Chains A and B, each alone.
Chain A
């Protein structure tokens, strides 16, 4: 790719950077509307309590206070769940109500109890101290075993804490395979609960304009149209044409800003009541107890093998924590985004998985970067590493022996998915080379010479993203379609505005999507603008999550570009008095085959808006096309992550020495941005493995409720990464793209933990929980001697 190139494959510098680097980004909390007042949400300090009474008088009389509302005042619909999962017997899951402000009971620390609206935020906060809420506290079900084992009910009306009991696969058939297996390896896995922690706290500004009876909500969302639909149709009964939702610059999401949250509904509902725009911004401590958490699975898994280590069958039982209420996507995460991934990159012929989803008195749990796929990958890659240990086969040989071969695609797995492309040996080979695995023994010896231990760990993984074909997800209980939409508007002088339903909150769409347009239309890169995040501008959109922006949103743009070219061709044919079949469009020029006649794209665009001699019955003026793209299949990025750690056995301190990732993300549009996405994913994966863990005490108090207690990865916790791509093309979308946003977080945690187990194998360590903090590692080392002696 030559310097200055702006098409597909060029590392174009980002368009968005200048505003972010000069302090000109416009995030929700930066928005100040005329007459704006401030909301403070009073939250439950208890995990489980009955609200016996609330005296609002003193708070209402406090200086600056405009209104105080509680759950009895706010009679609106329930915050909806977007996905229904059915039980084994076909009956639907339990779906308890979720009022934006609690009514009767509070069900987790942080549950919204009341909103105080005042002239200033300080006045609202001061008044909250005067709001007298009488609680009758109850024992809480915090951990899943207690919740399922007769612990207090989270929702009395459903009579159980089991949300659903779901399965995939034929259990009897899998059991038969296990009965005849030469060897069975079993493992217990805990996938630690995480708190997403986008750096921008959530915020919302609600506004009502009486003159045209219209509402506007500015919010920190990954999908403003979805919020418009959920809040408008299900919670507040505001029709779409009377509700505008704007998600301006958003400071990271990682899944946590997909969902429709109570505070969005509260400020929108209250705005006409107080007759002023209302702003609410979370403090970080509020984010910890009100943003949806991630992961939190407990599983047992076993792999049946023949005498040569070939996988014959996999059986998994998982308990998944839903928290106190069903967040927007929650039920699908441990089912359709998890169990369907359990084949991984292997030819395991039969698989059975049972998932029990559990209500607890904790913050709702939903999709967090990777969503289900990191849980599946962690389980599978830890299990595969253990299979290798128990059979005496090397970590790479057992993988190579069981890989789906590169010539076996399309490949139908036993857990519903059909993979379209991949080449797992190539990514493994490339990763081993990039990592300098050959040099590992020397590095290990050097570590040992200074009294340290060094280990290497593999993860050969796959994920399903580009979410998702509407027909497939519809049959699995999704209450929405998961297509994307785009509009390509060519202006009279040939510049282009693209309206996309994808939302960028760090991914760089304004750059990558412009590259698609520049490549296809030959329009100069600086004559293209990408518009997103405003339901009044963009026709529709399902938003950004599940690594879908390029693979679904980008393909929708590509489809709209095809329509623009087809229309422009008709115009050019008319202008050049040729048949449009004889026209060729290349490098921004229309030419007539066999002649020297040509027109630039800009000339055709101008003519579209100055149609002085158009045959109007055949050719409409204008050059503005829309497309909706519904993908035919998921996309299947995959690859190999190799982690190398050094452990100080005296202190339990782990150093990430090397982290190598070679990923197949399909066609790469902007290599610089793709590498950046993978870096970020790796940091979150390493964070999960070594640093981050959400801890509740038995009464339901969040012990990791600030950055003093919840360990965010810092620069000095991480190494520089070695990342590369080895791509096979997606076969079912026009760009060949697969997606890269989540691969780092999906592939890396098992590589890190496998490396730790490898480092400490010789001192008897056989397992290592996440997060492997120094204290945990030290404890594991010091209790390992007995385990090894017992073998």
Chain B
């Protein structure tokens, strides 16, 4: 089996994988980073979003082998020790999560949005979230949380 190596949450890791192993499987099963979730099998729901070399990607939609040599950040690596990332804090403050299952992907996706488009309008936020499905919140408070983080992330 081929060996892949990458930096995950600042730590160098490597492991043997089958050619067909997805990045999300490598994260969840080899590294036991179970914060990244799998909610569908058609690359629609976004529960598996992580950052790859700084950009949000759906980790169910690429092979682990394709991430060889990359820098990966998962939800476990977003906070600064005990201090939550401003996006995590905004989700908590605005009740942007309920069951928590879509939350890791939603937060990782939202961080990338604010980085790329710091002044996104409500319509732009909603459009960006098209690839992240939440069944609990109706998105109302997720949008509010991201709007809040637009101010705290730039501060």
Instruction: Across the interface, name the chain B residue whose C-beta is closest to A673.
Output: B95
A199 x B44 contact (CB < 8 A): no
Q: Flag the segment in A46-54, A246-254, A393-401, A629-637 that touches B.
A: A246-254
A676 B95 Cβ-Cβ under 8 A: yes
Which residue, A199, A250, A283, A713, has most C-beta atoms of chain B within 10 A?
A199
Closest A residue to B74 using CB positions: A23
Asked if residues B139 and A25 are in contact (CB atoms below 8 Å), the reply is: no
Q: A672-B95, A679-B137, A720-B122 are in contact. Are A20 and B103 (CB under 8 A)?
A: yes
Range of interface residues on chain B? 35 or more
Which residue in B20, B37, B76, B84 is a CB contact (below 8 Å) of A122? B20
> Judging by beta carbons under 8 Å apart, are B98 and A22 in contact?
no
Q: How far is the CA of A199 from the CA of B97 in the complex (A)?
A: 12
- Bound: A419/B99 CA distance, A: 32
Choice from B41, B97, B138 contacting A679 with Cβ under 8 Å: B138
A200, B48: Cα distance in complex, Å: 12
Interface residue stretch chosen among A9-17, A341-349, A732-740, A777-785? A9-17
Q: Which of B107, B123, B135 contacts A21 (CB 8 A)?
A: B107
Contact (Cβ within 8 A) B99 A506: yes
Report the nearest B residue to A25, measured CB to CB: B100
**Option from A201, A684, A708 in Cβ contact (under 8 Å) with B44:** A708
Q: Is A761 an interface residue (CB 8 A)?
A: no
Using known A-B contacts A22-B79, A24-B35, determine if residue A715 contacts B143 with beta carbons closer than 8 Å: yes
Contact B103 A716 (CB under 8 A): no
A721/B140 contact (C-beta < 8 A), A22-B88, A199-B39 known: yes
Interface set, chain B 81-106, CB cutoff 8 A to A: 84, 88, 91-93, 95, 97-104
| A712 and chain B: residue at smallest CB distance | B133
Q: Which of A22, A250, A683, A707 makes the CB contact (< 8 A) with B138? A: A683
Interface SS of chain A = loop
The reply to whether the CB of A526 lies closer than 8 angstroms to some CB of chain B is no
Number of interface residues of A (CB under 8 A): 57
Contacts A13-B93, A680-B136, A683-B138 given; indicate if A23 touches B34 (C-beta within 8 A): yes
User: Which residues 669-692 in A have Cβ within 8 Å of B in the complex?
Assistant: 672-673, 675-676, 679-684
Q: How many A-B residue pairs have CB under 8 A?
A: 180
Query: In this assembly, does A285 line the interface, its C-beta being within 8 Å of a C-beta of chain B?
Result: yes
Report which of A23, A250, A715 forms a contact with B139, defined as CB distance below 8 A.
A715
Answer whether residue A143 sits at the interface, using C-beta atoms and an 8 A cutoff: no
B101 touches A251 (CB 8 A): yes
B142 is an interface residue with CB less than 8 A from chain A: yes
Question: Does A161 belong to the interface (CB within 8 Å)?
Answer: no
Q: Would you give the 0/1 interface string for B12-29, flagging 1 where the beta carbon is closer than 8 Å to chain A?
A: 000000101000000010
A306 touches B (CB below 8 Å) = no
A22/B97 contact (C-beta < 8 A), A680-B137, A707-B40 known: no
Binary A-proximity of B58-95 (CB < 8 A = 1, otherwise 0):
00000000000000001110110000100010011101
In the complex, how many angstroms separate the beta carbon of B122 from the nearest chain A beta carbon?
7
Q: Hey, which chain B residues are within 8 Å of A744, CB to CB? A: 138
Partner of B41, one of A14, A505, A706: A706
* Nearest chain A CB to B132 CB, angstrom units: 8
A602 vs chain B, min Cβ distance (A): 28
> Nearest CB to that of B47 among chain A residues?
A199
- With known contacts A199-B102, A706-B42, A122–B18 Cβ distance under 8 A: yes
Contacts of B20 in A (CB 8 A): 122
**B114 an interface residue at 8 Å Cβ cutoff?**
no
- The 7 A-B pairs with the shortest beta carbon distances in the complex, nearest first, are A23-B35, A251-B101, A20-B100, A506-B99, A683-B138, A707-B44, A506-B98
23 contacts between A and B (CB under 8 A): A25-B35, A25-B100, A27-B34, A27-B37, A27-B101, A29-B34, A29-B38, A32-B32, A199-B39, A201-B39, A251-B39, A505-B99, A676-B95, A681-B138, A683-B139, A707-B42, A712-B44, A714-B126, A714-B139, A715-B132, A715-B139, A718-B138, A721-B138
Given contacts A22-B75, A27-B37, A707-B40, list 10 more A-B pairs with CB under 8 A: A27-B34, A199-B134, A199-B135, A250-B99, A676-B98, A676-B136, A680-B98, A684-B135, A706-B42, A718-B140
